[in-house]
Chains A and B, each alone.
Chain A
Amino acid sequence: MLKNGETKLQEIAIEVNSLVKKYGTLAAVDGISFKVHKGEVFAFVGPNGAGKTTTVEILVCLRNPTSGEAKILGFDINDRKGQQQIRKRIGVLPQDFNTFDLLTVKENLNYYKKMYGEGMDVDALIELVDLKEKANALYKNLSGGLKKRLAIATTLVNDPEVIFLDEPTTGLDPRARRDMWNLIEGLKEKEKTIFLTTHYMDEAEVLADTVAIINFGKIIAMGAPSELILKHGGKTALMVEEGGKPVYDLLSQTLSDVRLENDGDVLVPLKKKSDLPNAVLALDKNKAEFAELIVRRPTLENVFLNLTGKKIVEGELH
């Protein structure tokens, strides 16, 4: 979606400069700076406790930063008047948000809309998030996935220019997650600026135009997912499934940095164009035994692993 107007990219929706939030001596956010362009999906990726939610809450004027500056749509978050302007123009999905149990889908949306006075037509909004059949169902009777859809809808009632989604898919089953991705893609098509936090690397890779990887309050890498993967993801690799020691020995003769994994898979980093045909030819010529050949491209997970030496499993560092 970046393509639909290079001029749009020049306009900045969120600008953050040396933002710091300290609790005692601990810096939850430790001097981060970044820019989010209008119409962009910006993903803040990192493990739990990295400073994602703190950053979001500073940007939506729920917390005061210890130091540093931030502007949303040109309005200063440190300024009272600026905050009022920001609140009118943003939509926020707080982490673990649950709305009123005993109000229906429609009543819930109307409730939040009244807080702004004007905004999107609620019926149209219900249609947008595909909750038409449940419009008069109480929130407490919705499934987890539908609850999240309504939660997303509440961020749109004022037709905001910038939307903050704090871990919108945490705790959802895979299907509901995909569902949520489609919804976010839909918002992207409406040229909304979306600031998204997640600890799922695949989510960021699929949805984001720009990814900032945050760890211990610091941004350790930032850029388009493809760029980051190219820079930090390592090489595309040929995986010889269940090749075992014989295949490892065979390929190590002609290629460098071949790895034998614990489960018997053999990984061959493809450094030169000729590496792939050479490896395949060698396997064929020696009638090597293996289960399958797969060419594996690195993902954001490799980027995080290469940068920190750790993996994120269920949000925690491993």
Chain B
Amino acid sequence: MRRILAIIVGALRMWFRSKTTLFWTLAFPVLLMLLFGAIFSVSQNPTFDLYLQNQDITANGEPTQWSKAFCDMLNQTEMFNLHTVDSAENATKFIEEKGIQRLLIIPHGFNSSITVGNNVSIVLKMVPAEVDTASATMRNVINQVVEIFNTVVTGQSPPKMVTVKSESIVSETFKYIDFFAPGIIGMTLMTSGVFGAVAWNTRNKEFGILKKLATTPLSKLEWILGVVLYELIMGAISTIVIITVGVLVFNLKVIPNIFSVILIISGAIAFPGMGMVISRFVKESDSADAAANAITFPMMFLSGSFFPLEFMPDFLRQIANVLPLTYLNNGLRDSMVYGNVSSALLNTLVILSVGIFFIVLGSLITSWREE
């Protein structure tokens, strides 16, 4: 215990004296929060630029009855900043020339098809087939509009339902900060944990400090616990910083509960444990950094830190299911934001076992002795 404490206190002293590590634990999470928060959470009522070409016009240049009704309905959602494109324009050419992102085409014969009861498709051109939240949300909204439009066409539902329905879509999707803040916590715990442990090990190896410590009565388990607990303190500090910024600046609503605390502790233990295992296999500091990058970078994007997993293709979701960060992110969201305790419990158990697994593995394979 005395030895573990010495390792932690020493590491904290060095942390406090190093501007780079101070930056990574304190300033970097703040920057991330401010940046992403500013981009996404301000758009409480976001509008998308949507180009609309109505090809279904009458001989005297007026839009047909149903096509006009559809356009009005789109407008009523207040989600779109509609730009009308002349029906004579070549759509493909227009997209290329103007460099626009989204063009919705109501084809010729739209009105007549509806009148006689035939199926008709409207065309939404997006460049490219984007997967970002904005486009996905927009596609959702248009689908909703189409759905309601269909009920209007076929049934007798009053058109005012449109606005009600789409507003509910908006408020569900765009409390993005609630989604994002737990993701940032998860990501920070991962990067600071993995890189912290890797850097700490490789540096001390290069300086001969590990060799020196190996000649003392210090055991390798004590060493690993010292490093991991130090990283746990770092993780806790980063988490507090992130939550504070989220609450103060973006009005983040955090539900305090024991699962969140256990999750953060487990995550803050699992990732440095992973780092200790990586640095056992990769000896030189450059390649250890590269290995840590190779592992953390894909995990950052595939584990739903920045956008919901639902947007990803199936095979990527399969991968996400085996990444520990996925469980940390989901668990944090469930417990901190949604207050969904039962699903947080499962995620907590997963992360906790991953943490224990890496520490045990790390202390088994870490070798004080040289070959």
User: Which positions in A face B, CB cutoff 8 Å?
Assistant: 57, 60-64, 84, 87-88, 90, 92-103, 107, 110-112, 114-117, 138, 154, 158
Contact = CB atoms under 8 A, between A and B. Distances in A.
B10 A107 contact: yes
Given A107-B10, A115-B216, 12 more contacts: A61-B215, A62-B369, A97-B211, A99-B207, A99-B212, A101-B14, A103-B10, A103-B13, A112-B216, A114-B3, A115-B213, A154-B212
Contact of B368 (A62, A100, A107, A110): A62
A96 B13 contact: no
Interface in B178-212: 207-209, 211-212
Contact of A114 (B6, B208, B211): B6
Given A87-B217, A107-B10, A116-B217, A96 B212 contact: no
Given A87-B216, A115-B216, A98 B207 contact: yes
Given A63-B370, A84-B217, A98 B17 contact: no
Contact of A100 (B10, B211, B214, B217): B10
B6 A111 contact: yes
B14 A102 contact: yes
Closest 8 pairs between A and B when the two form their complex, measured CB to CB: A114-B6, A115-B216, A92-B215, A102-B14, A97-B208, A98-B207, A94-B211, A102-B17
A64 B370 CA distance: 8
B168 interface: no
Given A62-B369, A99-B207, A114-B3, A88 B217 contact: yes
A112 B213 CA distance: 8
Contacts of B368: 62
A41 B14 CA distance: 36
Nearest to B222: A115
A193 B2 CA distance: 29
Nearest to B209: A99
26 contacts: A61-B215, A61-B369, A62-B211, A62-B215, A62-B369, A63-B371, A64-B369, A90-B215, A94-B211, A94-B212, A94-B215, A95-B208, A96-B208, A97-B211, A98-B207, A99-B207, A102-B13, A102-B14, A103-B10, A110-B6, A114-B2, A114-B5, A114-B6, A115-B6, A115-B217, A154-B212
- Majority SS at the chain B contact face: helix
Contact of A97 (B207, B216, B370): B207
Contacts of B10: 100, 103, 107, 111
A241 B264 CA distance: 79
Contact of B209 (A88, A100, A114): A100
Contacts of B60: none
Contact of B208 (A61, A84, A88, A94): A94
A221 B369 CA distance: 30
A102 B18 contact: yes
A61 to B, nearest CB: 7
A225 to B, nearest CB: 28
Give the most central of B2, B207, B209, B216: most A CB within 10 Å. B216
Given A103-B10, A111-B6, A115-B6, A62 B208 contact: no
Give the most central of B3, B13, B213, B215: most A CB within 10 Å. B215
B249 interface: no
Contacts of A99: 207, 209, 212
A98 B209 contact: yes
A98 B208 contact: yes
A98 B209 CA distance: 7
Nearest to A113: B6
Give the most central of A63, A93, A98, A114: most B CB within 10 Å. A114
Interface in B211-238: 211-218
